[in-house]
Amino acid sequence: MGLGSTAKKLQGLSDRAEAMYKQVQQLQKRIISLEEEMDETHDTVNRIDHQLTEQRELLLAIADEQGIDGEEILADAAIDDVDLEETEDATDGDATAADAEDGETEA
């Protein structure tokens, strides 16, 4: 094997290493960008959560001034949400069972 063949192989390895290095740099930039976006999203969620808490307190105060029990309304709404989720879960379970039965008859 001559020096020319070895030089070609080394050049090929060098080219591939350089291409991989560029890919790693691109990935690093993308990761940094995603981390920045994640931080911005986190800050936005915290800000919205704080605003929601303020609005809830304001609405409860207004309800209290109007003689309405805001806490009772919120408790009822929470119960309705749980009931809805249970109904959806039961419906999903029924659909899954029906799909499984259909699969058995087709097989």
**Whether the Cβ atoms of residue 63 and residue 73 lie closer than 8 Å to each other:** yes
pLDDT score for 51: 98
How large is the angle between the packed helices 70-106 and 3-65, nearest 10 degrees?
130
pLDDT in tens, 60-106: 999 999 999 989 998 988 888 888 888 888 887 665 556 666 665 55
The model's pLDDT over 26-36, given as tens digits with 9 standing for 90+, comes to 999 999 999 99
**What would the mean pLDDT of 41-45 be, rounded to a whole number?**
98
pLDDT, residue 61, reads 94
For 8-30, letters b (16+ CB in 10 Å) and e give eeeeeeeeeeeeeeeeeeeeeee
- Are the CB atoms for 59 and 71 separated by under 8 Å? no
Of 92 and 18, the one with more pLDDT: 18
pLDDT at position 105 = 52
The residue extents of the domains of the chain are 3-88
